[in-house]
Amino acid sequence: MYKLREFTQLLFFFLLFVAAVTFFGMTASYINNPERRTSEGEVLATFQTSVQVLGNCGNNIQEPPEECDGTDLDGYSCSSLGYDGGTLSCNTNCTRNTSSCFNNVPTCGNNVKEAGEECDGADLAGASCSTFGFNNGSLSCNSNCTYNKGACFTIIPTSVPTLPPNVTPTITPTPDPNELTDTDGDGLSDAWELSYAQCHNYLVPDNLEDYDSDDILSRDEYVLDSNPCVADTDGDGMPDGWELLYDLDLLNDDSDQDPDGDGRNNIQEFFEGTNPRVAEIDPDVVISITPETGGEEVVGDYPWEIIIPSVFCCSILIAGLSWFFFAGKKKNGDDKVTKVISETFASGL
């Protein structure tokens, strides 16, 4: 009888162990499921894990698959990773730390020509009017650090032709600026060319020239009424050719306007090399989406939130009943199970 009592005691502890393992195991499974939501749609729990690079991290020797280890950066530096400068270091988990690396941003107006600038103040980077095909004039720098070729021009030498005998030379008078005459037949009126005499000659066809290098030929500058000698007619920091390309105003300052509504005005779009007519998403901006609240409760195929308490309670109930019926003792030392079995068989089951 005592062996039966020992067996029932073992059975009780075994069932108690099963109940505990079931409860804690399924509870962990329930919590770790990121799809669980309460009826209000809130996330029950979110676990974040950090990836530790495998290997002997911390011995100051870079070993695969480590990116680095202590002072051993595997030959890498900020510049080799595409930065302009800075100090590369190693994180404690043997991954590269580029937080001290940086990129130089040109500062227009400091009289030092830097990357991304054509010139800066008096620093013309060795360029002159002759660099752009002129033979006279003075090159300068605009406030947006681009070349100003408006004061550059070309002197065309003239020569007196040798006339046949008994021929009287014809002298071409200087045209009246108020008349739309076109002495050289290039489609540009003499009056217009005279108004831009620093870069145009009304005696020489030059309608296909681009003296200010703004990607607009003189014949088009004539139609647009823009300055053929200055790359930025309205002085808003954006070249005429760029403004014409994107249908902006060449004659009026529109640098602070934002036609595409993407939060960057025209002058910013120009320096960033983006289209001022098309809204672009900034790659540095991270868009986070918050899940909707409310709605039905999201559950999986197995509603563990109901099964877990049920299994646990049933296991405890079974174990308790087993203990009560098979492990109790009478005061006189007789085993309860003996009486139960004896009486059962005596009554003929």
Residue extents of the structural domains in the chain: 2-43+294-346, 161-204
**Confidence bin at 39 (pLDDT 50/70/90):** very low
Residue 150, pLDDT > 90, answer: no
If you compute the radius of gyration of the chain from its CA atoms, what whole number of angstroms results?
A: 44
Q: What is the pLDDT of residue 190?
A: 82
Counting residues of the chain whose pLDDT is more than 90, the rounded percentage is 29
CB 205 within 8 A of CB 187: no
Are 254 and 242 a contacting pair, CB within 8 Å?
Answer: no
- Average pLDDT, rounded, for the chain: 74
Q: What is the pTM of this model?
A: 0.34
Note the pLDDT of residue 22: 67
CB environment 186-199: b (16+ within 10 A), e (fewer)? bebbbbbbeebebb
pLDDT band at 47 (very low <50, low <70, confident <90, very high): very low
Question: Which residue stretches of the chain are H helix?
Answer: 2-32, 190-195, 218-224, 240-245, 266-272, 304-326, 336-346
pLDDT more than 70, % of the chain: 59
Instruction: For residue 134, give the amino acid letter.
Output: F
Q: Hey, is 279 helix, strand or coil?
A: coil
pLDDT of residue 102: 80
CB atoms within 10 A of CB 57: 21
Give tens-digit pLDDT for 281-333: 655 544 444 555 554 544 444 555 556 666 666 666 676 666 555 555 444 44
Lowest-confidence region among 178-187, 251-260, 276-285: 276-285
Angle at 306 between CA 304 and CA 308, to 5 degrees: 60
> Could you give the C-alpha distances from 60 to 52, 82, 86, 93, 136, in angstroms and in order?
16, 24, 21, 12, 64
pLDDT in tens, 74-112: 999 998 998 888 899 999 999 999 998 887 767 898 998
Per-residue model confidence as pLDDT tens digits over 178-228 = 567 888 888 888 888 888 888 988 888 888 999 899 899 989 988 898 999
Q: What is the pLDDT of residue 3?
A: 60
Burial class, 131, CB count within 10 angstroms (exposed 0-12 / middle 13-18 / buried 19+): middle
Residue found by looking up tokens 């919590």 in the block: 31
- pLDDT higher than 80, residue 61: yes
For 139-149, what is the mean pLDDT? 93
CA dihedral 92, 98, 100, 102 (to 10 degrees): 180
Lowest-confidence range among 32-36, 69-73, 213-217, 271-275?
32-36
pLDDT at residue 346 greater than cutoff 90: no
Whether the pLDDT of residue 40 is over 50: the answer is no
With both helix axes pointing from N to C terminus, report the angle between 2-32 and 304-326 in degrees, rounded to the nearest 10: 170
Q: Which residues on adjacent β-strands are paired with residue 114?
A: none
Least confident among 60-74, 101-115, 227-241, 333-347 = 333-347
How far apart (Å, rounded) are the C-alpha atoms in residues 311 and 22? Answer: 8
The pLDDT assigned to 191 comes to: 84
Rounded mean pLDDT of 227-256?
91
Q: Please give the pLDDT value at position 92.
A: 92
**With bands split at pLDDT 50, 70 and 90, how would you rate the model's confidence at 41?**
very low
